[in-house]
Amino acid sequence: MHIFRAKHTVLAALFLILVGLASCQTRPNLVIHESEPLSVVLREMPAGYPSLAPFNYAHVILPKDAFAILESLNYDAGSILPFSQGQRHRVFTRLQAEFLAPELSKALNLALPQEVAAFIVSDPEKPHRHTKGVAFVHGDDLHLIIEELHKPVYEGEQKTYQQQVSRWSLLLGEGQRHFSNHPGGRGVMTNWIITPLR
């Protein structure tokens, strides 16, 4: 009888250990949306970025709030000439913001503490001109990291030529700031923008 109880105790302990290990692991990438112009996936933070996990998803992010943030983002495309400013452009076209906002909102509201929402969005008529990045909530802020930008089209530009966007940086809007690696604002990452959610 004692051997029978001991076996059950050992089996119960092994079961609890296995359940505990499974809960510590990350789930595989969770696809929120997949179509030609838009992909939104929950995944771990890509390598190469400072680790801020666990992220805090206590805020419910409404699609209209996500849309307002996405549509407000601009970047400076840089200039070929030294000491001159580049042109100001929107990070997302209106159509891209309309596609991305509801799916990004859904992803951020479903994310686990170690997950970010990775996205790629383009206009349906220009699928080769996409914008790629990740988003997550940390504290009371929405963090957006833009990894790739669609290339701007200039008046008079021939269709076979696209100007390279090499030295670009996100421009700060009201209440926004860039992520900084070090105290005092040193080591600013100009492709990483932080927007307060309150």
75-91, pLDDT tens digit by residue? 987 655 555 555 778 99
Encoded amino acid at 107, one letter: A
**Cis? peptide before 54, omega within 30° of 0:** yes
Chain length of the chain: 198
Confidence check: pLDDT of 7 > 60 = no
Give me the pLDDT at residue 92, please.
94
What is the residue extent of each domain of the chain? 29-196
Confidence check: pLDDT of 8 > 60 = no
Give me the pLDDT at residue 178, please.
93
H or E segment to which residue 157 belongs: none
- Edge-to-edge strand list for the sheet holding 169-171: 88-90, 74-76, 169-171
Confidence check: pLDDT of 160 > 50 = no
Confidence check: pLDDT of 138 > 60 = yes
Quick check: 194 and 143 in contact, CB under 8 A?
yes
Top pLDDT among 83 and 188 is at 188
Give the global pTM.
0.76
Give me the pLDDT at residue 195, please.
96
Give me the pLDDT at residue 22, please.
42
